[in-house]
């Protein structure tokens, strides 16, 4: 079957680099992909703001959360969560989101209240926005995690329970 010049190639026919971009594009169109991209982008902006401010001790948090969000984005878009089933991806993602939201909220309060330069104030405001993004992400991840755990419980075979009449007693 011949392909016209204007048609897009099939994913199987695409070169390896294009397949990688298609995987990223496919995951980026999902809600989880957009939220992870927002986390990474906001974390990078906050990191730049802290570099330019006097609140330099806080710059490690946005750097680490940027790397973690980028790592989860890459692992989900490359479907590593389906290849490595021994790792509880949703639980790790959920815990990282909760920890990041709490820490961003705390350092944003400190940056806005303690430091007077504009870059620290901007980092604090972006930190509050990032806290909201992480809270939304944690909410959706919690729903996915609860659904996953319910599926695990329902997939277990129901154990047969003995009734009172079937019990093995020595009183006979």
Tens of pLDDT, residues 96-129:
999 999 999 999 999 999 988 999 999 999 999 9
Q: What are the boundaries of each domain within the chain? A: 31-153
**Which pTM does this prediction carry?**
0.72
- Concatenated DSSP letters for 45-79? HHHHHHHHSS-GGGGHHHHHHHHHHHHHHHHHHTT
C-beta of residue 96 within 8 angstroms of C-beta of residue 64: no
Tens of pLDDT, residues 21-57:
566 676 777 888 889 899 999 999 999 999 998 888 8
Longest dimension (CA), the chain: 86
Q: Which residues of 155-168 are buried (b: 16+ CB within 10 A; e: fewer)?
A: eeeeeeeeeeeeee
- Whole-angstrom distance, CA of residue 126 vs CA of residue 143: 26
């Amino acid at each position: 079957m011949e392909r016209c010049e204007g048609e897009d190639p099939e994913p199987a026919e695409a070169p390896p680099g294009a397949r990688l971009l298609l995987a990223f594009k496919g995951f980026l169109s999902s809600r989880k992909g957009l939220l992870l991209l927002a986390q990474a982008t906001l974390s990078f902006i906050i990191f730049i703001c802290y570099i330019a401010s006097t609140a330099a001790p806080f710059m490690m948090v946005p750097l680490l959360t940027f790397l973690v969000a980028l790592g989860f984005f890459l692992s989900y878009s490359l479907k590593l969560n389906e290849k490595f089933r021994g790792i509880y991806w949703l639980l790790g993602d959920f815990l990282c989101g909760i920890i990041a939201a709490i820490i961003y909220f705390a350092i944003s309060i400190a940056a806005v209240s303690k430091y007077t330069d504009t870059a620290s104030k901007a980092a604090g405001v972006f930190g509050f926005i990032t806290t909201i993004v992480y809270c939304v992400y944690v909410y959706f991840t919690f729903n996915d995690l609860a659904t996953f755990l319910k599926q695990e419980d329902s997939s277990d075979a129901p154990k047969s329970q003995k009734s009172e009449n079937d019990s093995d007693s020595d009183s006979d």
